[in-house]
Chain A
């Protein structure tokens, strides 16, 4: 983002305000959705989907990842791979136990 012109930055202010509004609305939606009569699996899926959308907005627009350099995306891609791996470790441990 460091190479963007003053005009680009002025335009992006509107985007930041739009992202802020979306984040605020999605926060309210997250809380409202928690009061729905859903199973744990459904609530889990819904809550994490909304959180992931919010996370993408913050990372993509506020942290400029949508327009960032390849070197940064490569570092984050590798990190994301290991993140997914450690998130699946508990699941693998439990299914392994169940098999015994």
Chain B
């Protein structure tokens, strides 16, 4: 049985089903990260010993700035891969999507160096309330990056054959992955100043 509305738009919503689906998922993600940001505010307001200020000063701002620029760049390559598909430029699509995967790997490598530096200095999630929320929020964000990378890899290699058989459906799929990837970028845009700079 064919899945309905994966290419054509529904009359009532004005979009294909997966698009509404991803936005509902992203709405739940907003609440997931929103809950953690709320916990951060709660813990920070109750911080009488100054662990947030001392903890924040232990973080590596230049590396986090680099990672912010890397993630912003990956958002651009992601949207350019979708643009390339819309314009029927399959080679460019692969180059841009491959670049997105590469930039995501760079982000993880930088994060690896950041985490290991903390562990070598004896800093773990149980070190202080600040580091508990720091590792929780950045760790959850990192899991989202890895999840996105798995999906991007699928569409870059094994799933790319759909590009020739069902091009419109494949383009819609890339738009959906792109929405998820931009959301992950959006979360980092707020995590960066909140954890590293304040």
Q: Residues of A at under 8 Å CB distance from B?
A: 1-3, 6, 9-10, 12-13, 16-17, 20, 23-24, 27-28, 30-31, 34, 40, 43-44, 47-48, 50-51, 54-55, 58-59, 62-63, 69-72, 75-76, 78-80, 82-83, 86-87, 89-91, 93-94
Residues of B within 8 A of A30 (CB): 192-193, 197
Instruction: Select one of A2, A40, A59 contacting B15, CB under 8 A.
Output: A2
A50 to B23, alpha carbons, bound, how many Å? 24
Q: How far is the CA of A12 from the CA of B86 in the complex (A)?
A: 12
Q: Is B41 engaged at the interface, CB distance under 8 Å to the other chain?
A: yes
Shortest beta-carbon distance from B90 to chain A in Å: 15
Find chain B residues with CB under 8 A from A59 CB: 182, 186
Choose, from B72-80, B106-114, B146-154, the stretch at the interface. Answer: B72-80
- Assess the A58–B186 pair: CB atoms within 8 A: yes
Tell me if B175 and A2 are in contact (CB < 8 A): yes
Shortest distance from the beta carbon of A43 to any chain B beta carbon, whole Å = 6
With A50-B193, A51-B193, A87-B37 given, is the CB distance from A2 to B31 under 8 Å?
no
Q: Are A2 and B41 in contact (CB under 8 A)?
A: no
Chain A residues within 8 Å of B178, by CB: 62
Could you say which residues of chain B place their CB within 8 Å of the CB of A86? 31, 34-35, 38
Interface size class of B (residues with CB under 8 A): 35 or more
Asked whether, in the complex, the Cβ of A20 is within 8 Å of the Cβ of B30, the reply is: no
A20-B72, A24-B69 known; A58-B182 Cβ under 8 A: yes
Asked if B15 and A69 make an inter-chain contact with CB atoms under 8 angstroms apart, the answer reads yes
A27 touches B65 (CB 8 A): yes
Q: Tell me if A58 and B197 are in contact (CB < 8 A).
A: no
A71 to B198, Cβ gap below 8 A? no
Q: Could you show 23 A-B contacts with beta carbons less than 8 Å apart?
A: A2-B19, A2-B172, A6-B87, A9-B86, A9-B87, A20-B76, A30-B197, A43-B197, A43-B198, A47-B193, A47-B194, A48-B194, A50-B193, A51-B194, A55-B190, A62-B75, A62-B182, A63-B179, A71-B15, A72-B19, A75-B23, A80-B30, A83-B30
Given contacts A1-B175, A43-B198, A69-B14, 6 further A-B contacts (CB under 8 A): A27-B65, A48-B194, A58-B186, A62-B78, A71-B20, A76-B27
Chain A residue nearest to B68 (CB atoms) is A27
Known: A27-B69, A59-B186, A69-B15. A90 touches B197 (CB 8 A): no
Question: Which chain B residues (11-36) contact chain A, with CB distance < 8 Å?
Answer: 13-16, 19-20, 23-24, 27, 30-31, 34-35
Is B157 in contact with chain A by the CB < 8 A criterion? Answer: no
Q: Which of chain B's residues have a CB closer than 8 A to the CB of A16?
A: 76, 79-80, 83
Taking CB atoms, residues of chain B closer than 8 Å to A89 are 38, 42
Residue of B nearest to A5 (CB): B86
The 5 closest A-B pairs by CB, nearest first: A90-B42, A47-B193, A34-B197, A79-B27, A83-B34
